[in-house]
Amino acid sequence: MNIRIRKAIKEDCTRMMELIYELAVYEKAAEEITVNFDHFVDAGFGDKPIWWAFVAEQTDALGKKEVQALALYYIRYSTWKGQSMYLEDLLVTEKLRGKGVGTLLFDALFTEAKEKKYTGIAWQVLDWNEPAINFYKKMDAVIFDAGWMNCTVHF
């Protein structure tokens, strides 16, 4: 597979946004994406970053490298637990799914979260997304909690 996991750099942003669109088109929700590309780059690599990411970079037979998956997180703050990592997006391009890339990204996230002394990692999964839920069930120590509703106001 020839995959290397590394921290995202500014130059990855175009390809990252392409992967984000790929998934949104698959979910028939591309029109929901209203984020501005310059804001996306600035929020990750400006003076005050508020998101961080790992990417999975594949090298093909000709030596060409391309980012094929990403895990993007921000820091949440719980008044009970302190700082933890909130995994906002984990996505793998369609042709590379089921090959363990998600596990490699999770390994990198866990290592990073422990190094930074975060108290844990949290994310959400759609309650009908059985493949994803089964994937998370195979991981150690994941606590599932279905008793919450998300409330959102968009301006």
The residues assigned a catalytic role are: 136
Total residues contacting a copy of itself (rule CB under 8 A)?
60
Residue 47's SS3 state is coil
91 with 69: CB under 8 angstroms?
Answer: yes
Please give the Cα distance from 30 to 17 (Å, whole number): 12
x-or-dash pattern for a copy of itself, window 49-68, by CB under 8 A? -xx-----------------
- Which CB sits closer to a copy of itself, 47 or 60? 47
State yes or no: residue 75 binds a copy of itself (CB under 8 A). yes
State yes or no: residue 24 binds a copy of itself (CB under 8 A). yes
Angle at 148 between CA 136 and CA 76, to 5 degrees: 70
Note the Cα 119 to chain centre separation in Å. Answer: 18
Q: What's the min distance (Å) between Cβ of 97 and a copy of itself?
A: 18
77 with 67: CB under 8 angstroms?
Answer: no
Number of alpha carbons in the 13 Å side-chain half-sphere of residue 15:
19
Q: What are phi and psi of 110, to 5 degrees?
A: -65, -45
> Which DSSP category does 119 fall into?
S
Among 3, 15, 41, 43, binds a copy of itself (CB under 8 A): 43
Among 3, 45, 83, 112, binds a copy of itself (CB under 8 A): 83
State yes or no: residue 119 binds a copy of itself (CB under 8 A). yes
Q: What's the min distance (Å) between Cβ of 96 and a copy of itself?
A: 19
Q: Site residues (CB under 8 A) for a copy of itself?
A: 17, 20, 24, 32-36, 39-40, 43, 50-51, 72, 74-83, 86, 88-89, 110, 113-114, 118-128, 133, 136, 139-155
